[in-house]
Amino acid sequence: MIRMQFRLMINKKEFQLVYLINLVYVFLVYLKHISAYWGDEVSTILSPGSTSAIVWHYNISRIYHIYIILLPFLLVLPFAMSFIDDNKNLILFALQIRSGVKVYYIAKGIVCFIGGFLAFFVPLFMNFILNHVTFPDSGLTFMGDLYDINFDSLVTGAGLTIEARGPKTWFLPLFLASQEGYTLLFCILFSIEMGIFSTFVYVVSFVLKRSKLTLLLPFYLITACFEKLELIYRGREPYLCYSILSYFMLDGWYGKDPLFIGIVILAVLFIIVLGIHWQIRRDQLE
């Protein structure tokens, strides 16, 4: 069942559209960095790990912020709408008879996660490879120059003028050992987050199953609420970042608390498991 659903997903226009948008985004970021550094001294060019599409830099500021706005809609498309499609095409019952109700919903959830993950990770990994073969290892990172005497205070947050929750730099030993490995880890974490949120929207489709358009709204409204909290509490101490979609984007910002995002993701996973279990029981009783 998983294999069949996976083949169905990769042939869907929605999945291909998200994949294409992500490809366009990472190549635009790549080209913007090339045009910005063309003819510059090696020492002034960002290292490969810091030219990734998930790393904020003033070179790509406008594209980056547009992409962040689009994210709540992009993660819906890969496969989260497939339950609505099956229901509208009147094949839901036939698929459940073929595989069993429990297998149907669990398999769809797994493929939804895989689709959300792949639609983001593959373009990001291509971007990672391109950056590695294009840009020099200059020691200039998104957190500052490795050879700057103030670099320690930049990565540890010792120089912050306000109190903030969480470490300034997650996985600091890895960051100091390999910026490329650090960026790749965050590409994986970011893609996992997108896969989880995509599966969450799939569970929401059990309730909002009349229209695909309405399915675009719930997660957008949730992220908008978190962004509103971000604006309200930005100037308060200890500062905590509420922007859940930017937690695994590397912007050098502080206040990103692993405990907070961990609780959010665990809550989402709990809703996913509960929602799938509830829908299985509901269909079995019917």
Note the pLDDT tens digit of each residue in 20-41: 999 999 999 999 888 888 877 7
Question: What are the Cα distances from residue 48, in Å, to 40, 43, 129, 147, 265?
Answer: 15, 13, 9, 16, 29
Given pLDDT bands bounded at 50, 70 and 90, which one contains residue 168? low
Is the pTM above the cut of 0.85?
yes
Mean pLDDT computed over 233-243: 81
% pLDDT > 90, the chain: 23
pLDDT for the residue numbered 79: 65
Which is more confident, 67 or 97?
A: 67
- Please give the pLDDT value at position 269: 95
Tokens of 45: 């060019």
Query: Considering only CA atoms, which of 215, 193, 226 is closest in space to residue 84?
Result: 215
Predicted confidence at residue 152, as pLDDT, reads: 65
Provide long-range contacts, Cβ within 8 A and 24+ apart, for 219-224: 219/72, 219/75, 219/76, 220/72, 220/73, 223/71, 223/72
Name the residue among 216, 188, 196 with its Cα closest to residue 273.
196
Does the pLDDT of residue 123 top 80, yes or no? yes
Rounded Cα distance between 9 and 28, Å, is 26
CA 122-124-126 angle, to 5 degrees, is 70
- More confident position, 242 or 155: 242
Q: How many helices (H) and strands (E) does the chain have?
A: 12, 2
Please count the residues of the chain: 286
Each residue's pLDDT tens digit, 176-210: 888 888 899 999 999 999 999 999 988 988 888 77
Q: Tell me the pLDDT tens digit for each residue of 261-280.
A: 999 999 999 999 999 998 88
Please give the sequence-ordered ranges of beta strands (E in DSSP) within 31-147, or none if there are none.
140-141, 144-145
